Amino acid sequence: MPSSSSSPQQGPAQGVRPGLRVGRSVPAEQQSFYEAVGGHETFVRLVDAFYEGVAEDPLLRPMYPEEQLDGARERLTLFLEQYWGGPGTYSETRGHPRLRMRHAGFHIGPAARDAWLTHMRAAVDSLELPPLQHEVLWDYLERAAHSLLNTFED
């Protein structure tokens, strides 16, 4: 697996998609991870599967103020699509991702992180991606979840 030293909000490591960062496009001769895994439909499936679990989770569900999770679904889909080389709609509509800042108002301790990872792992597994794509996607999501811890007590 390529080493990944990028931050969870900046884009994957050079070995995954050379030259891609937030706000840049992939050169025409290179296929983005977004395209390689199936584009928009794949990320919608991922996010829908994830929020099916969140909707029933007693620890995570209260963190989402919307009665319906539609807004959260849309934001996560747009963010992941942009991060992996798809349309830049997230930044166009919401500005820089600033993941830590956007999550600072939530109590994210080890239990919340682990619950999030449990639902996200099930969602990633449901995509049945080829092993390398699965590993690259999961590695990023796991690092992102760990980076958002803002308290070490549950």
Question: What's the full length of the chain, in residues?
Answer: 154
Cα(32)–Cα(30) distance, rounded to whole angstroms? 6
Give the distance from CA 60 to its chain's centroid.
16
Q: Is the dihedral of CA 150, 100, 115, 55 positive or negative?
A: positive
Lookup: tokens for 74 = 């849309």
Q: What is the spatial distance between Cα 124 and Cα 95, in angstroms, rounded to a whole number?
A: 26
Q: Please check if 146 is assigned to a binding site.
A: yes
Alpha helices by DSSP H, the chain: 33-36, 40-55, 70-83, 89-94, 99-103, 110-127, 131-147
Q: Which residues are annotated as a binding site?
A: 146
Q: Which residues are annotated as a binding site for heme?
A: 146
